[in-house]
Structure 1
């Protein structure tokens, strides 16, 4: 900025727009002291994230590395969503992004019920989470409900039953808008054969199957799998 042929190199004043003053102070103090000092009116996690983005923007490698390390150490199930949203488009933060996806997957129930912020994740991150090898959920129904909420950009927590009721008065195009194709892309990530048989039958009789063909196909496959398994030697028939 100051040595290239840019206006700042010949000006006595430099204007830095769209930048957190607190984060800029962190960067300046680090340049002078070599220490990461996170103090001020801004919440610790927010300031740390802002400082990391600023260090990446200005190429302050040592500060970036220190923020990177501290961010990974401070990562929690409450902070994983906001951090993932902020860093997902920054190539240099790939490790943090992958770590956030793993953390989210391991605490999936918590991260999708304590806050609706997860609906702001982009499709790639959300898809990676529900397909993650470390995904930990109490039921596949939780995954299904989260997919519906994400695709609807839900303003409150709801389950598939609510979506089925809404489809009685609406259409998938109106209900899911530009995320309708995403809905079709995400459904195969739900392990329908692991759902209880009674739940699969309820899903099969719902408006969801009548209005969403791929959902109907997957539910039917799940029912067939369970019914076939129940007829194997040694299993009780349902």
Structure 2
């Protein structure tokens, strides 16, 4: 995060807000399961396997869908070359449209499947050398780096970029608040809005300088 220019850092925060939005909608639509936070689903999978294996199906399917999204997004990213950001975001937007259609048609499998694949693919937006450099749907690492940066600041050491990690976490939190708000008040429209927002992010991605 701190190795990117200001324009890309702001872009990452905007995408983290999308992740928070979609995860909040998914959380409220899927009985407390997550469509982007697979650590939580992994814990729920382990608890279910240890106490009530029948309930393990839901987290297992969500984790598998997320993994498919990551894999598909990574393959698309490799083929897109310098335009991997808009290419990956186009896949995310398509999956969010599928999720919105699933809700409209009363097909929860399509709705949740579209969301979880979209969130898996989204993590391929920021890469360097084939490795993810900014995790957009999970914030544990960002909070660890934020805490370490705060410790450095309190110790009088040079700014280690903790404000960028704080911004990334804040973006996800703000998106989650908005997602919960709209899921509560506009349940049939919130996923269409998420897809439209992602489409706008594609336009922003095209305006960023191409990467090698």
For normalisation by structure 1, the TM-score amounts to: 0.22
Greater helix share, structure number: 2
User: Which of the two has higher C-alpha Rg?
Assistant: 1
For normalisation by structure 2, the TM-score amounts to: 0.24
